[in-house]
Amino acid sequence: MILLLLLSAEAHLLDPGVLAMREATAGLFVVQWRPPAAAPGAEQPAIDCVRREMLWDCGVSGPTRIVAPDGALVVISRRDGEQTVHSLTPARPEWTATQRPGPGAWLPLGLRHALTGADHLLFVAGLVVLIAEVRPLIAAITAFTIAHSLTLAAAALGVLTLPQAPVEACIALSLVLLAVQLTRPAPSGPAWRLAAGFGLLHGLGFAGALAGVGLPPGGQVPALLGFNIGVELAQLAVVAVMFLPARWLRARGLQRSAAYVIGPLGVAWMLERILSF
């Protein structure tokens, strides 16, 4: 079941509808709406502001109510540098925009990115199949988490800058190498080292997702924290879902079959990304 979900998702897809509101002068906002790639005809969000030619008059307090029937990522940038981010979904399409930004505003974004990133989910699922014992599995997942958190923070804060296309190709390569490990009787070396090494690459992929939205000035740490918590919740969900199926595969000596799914997908994604350089 989870493999079908992975196959139906695009690798590291993060392209929700984005409603960007930038304060030009006191109470007057420039509004830009970009519909999601998967639904270019999505309905534009409704804002409790009055349009005046090219600007929207929202008053000095800014917009107080936004409704997006199809969901949207709302980014409100004020002249003083404050930025508010909130994720609306079809299930919760309405937001009263009065709360200040915090980690919770970014958590749904991290959750959505991880759950729609087939390459990331497939790597985590492969780790669960690869590692039979609980303690080594926890060590590997922890190492993977720490590694991708470090590179995510470094890249998002501008400390580390790498072209995104080669990074995404290397992430696909990590799936191929994981598939090779799955064909062996036992992992070559401690599994946590493998997880940590490839976690560094996956963190750079997460940073590419944040680059399209931008971190709020003065609020980078809460934003990164919220985004990363969302990623981790999705990751733990994969571990929970795959744990029993992975034990079933290993009990019947079928763990190598996972390599025949992960490997070809990794090769296909890698070639696709190399050709897009």
Give residue limits of the domains in the chain: 2-12+111-275, 18-101
Q: CA angle 211-85-169, nearest 5°? A: 25
Give the model's pLDDT for residue 266.
93
Higher pLDDT, 104 or 87: 87
Residue 270, pLDDT above cutoff 90: yes
Give the model's pLDDT for residue 8.
41
Give the model's pLDDT for residue 212.
60
Give the model's pLDDT for residue 169.
92
Residue 1, pLDDT above cutoff 70: no
Nearest by Cα to 16 from 97, 102, 95, 109 = 109
pLDDT in tens, 214-254: 666 666 787 788 888 888 888 889 999 999 999 999 888 88
Q: In angstroms, how far apart are the furthest CA atoms of the chain?
A: 68
**CA–CA dist 63, 27 (Å, integer):** 9
Across residues 15-28, what is the average pLDDT?
82
**CA–CA dist 244, 151 (Å, integer):** 31
pLDDT in tens, 62-92: 888 889 888 788 888 888 877 777 778 787 7
**CA–CA dist 83, 91 (Å, integer):** 24
User: What is the gyration radius of the CA atoms in the chain, in angstroms?
Assistant: 21
Q: Strand pairing partners for 18?
A: 34, 73
Mean pLDDT rounded to a whole number for the chain: 81
**Which one-letter DSSP state was computed for residue 160?**
S
Residue 176 pLDDT class (50, 70, 90 cuts): very high
Nearest by Cα to 206 from 9, 1, 14 = 14
Residue 12, pLDDT above cutoff 60: no
Which secondary structure element, helix H or strand E, spans residue 139, and what is its range?
Answer: helix 134-156
pLDDT in tens, 205-218: 877 766 666 666 66
> Going by C-beta distance under 8 Å and a sequence separation of 6 or more, which residues neighbour residue 226?
102, 103, 104, 105, 106, 107, 109, 110
| Tokens 């080669």 -> residue | 166
Higher pLDDT, 159 or 15: 159
**CA–CA dist 24, 19 (Å, integer):** 16
Higher pLDDT, 7 or 24: 24
**CA–CA dist 221, 149 (Å, integer):** 12
Q: How many CA atoms lie within 13 A of 20 on its CB side?
A: 12
Which secondary structure element, helix H or strand E, spans residue 83, and what is its range?
Answer: strand 83-88
